[in-house]
């Protein structure tokens, strides 16, 4: 047989299409369904949290794993926390105001034109 014969050719691998990240570190975003906003500080190209975390989301609103997921310094009306949110559940925040989170100054150099400037020490 020659290398061109179909029995010797490698099989095609099909991988799920993965969306490109719409947001970047420093972008301020808002959740589509829940009343909180935050600033992106890291991005996973696909879901990278625990199965327990994923399964705890009600099936009716559970997002697909094959999309970017964002780590946010988040704030709601009464607290600040770190959130992990799928791309399909985020929109750009039109407010442009600062995020009230105790870790902002450790990761960012300030707010400029509606987005945070990430500190050089945290850049990839």
Query: Given phi > 0 = left and psi -120 to 50 = alpha, else beta, which region is 114?
Result: left
- Give the pLDDT confidence score for residue 19 in this predicted structure: 79
| Chain centre distance of CA 7 | 42
- Give the pLDDT confidence score for residue 45 in this predicted structure: 96
- Secondary structure E strands in 1-124: 28-31, 37-44, 69-75, 80-86, 90-92, 108-112, 115-118
Radius of gyration, CA atoms only, the chain: 19
Which tens digits make up the pLDDT trace of 26-75? 999 999 999 999 999 999 999 999 999 999 999 999 999 999 999 999 99
Report whether pLDDT(111) > 80: yes
Rounded CA-CA distance 49/13 in Å is 25
Query: Rounded to a whole number, what is the largest CA-CA distance in the chain?
Result: 71
Structure-token match 């707010």, residue found: 111
Q: Is the pLDDT higher at 18 or at 93?
A: 93
Rounded CA-CA distance 75/94 in Å is 15
- Give the pLDDT confidence score for residue 21 in this predicted structure: 95
Cβ atoms 68, 29 nearer than 8 A: no
- Give the pLDDT confidence score for residue 95 in this predicted structure: 82
Confidence of residue 120 (pLDDT cuts 50, 70, 90): confident
């Amino acid at each position: 047989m020659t290398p061109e014969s179909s029995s010797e050719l490698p099989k095609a691998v099909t991988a799920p299409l993965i969306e490109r990240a719409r947001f970047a570190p420093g972008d301020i975003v808002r959740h589509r369904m829940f009343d909180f906003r935050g600033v992106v500080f890291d991005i996973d190209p696909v879901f990278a949290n625990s199965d327990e975390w994923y399964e705890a989301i009600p099936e009716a609103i559970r997002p697909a794993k094959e999309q970017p997921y964002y780590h946010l310094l988040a704030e709601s009306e009464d607290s600040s926390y770190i959130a992990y949110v799928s791309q399909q559940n985020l929109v750009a925040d039109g407010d442009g105001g600062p995020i009230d989170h105790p870790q902002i100054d450790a990761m960012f150099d300030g707010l400029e034109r509606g987005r945070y400037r990430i500190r050089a020490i945290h850049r990839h």
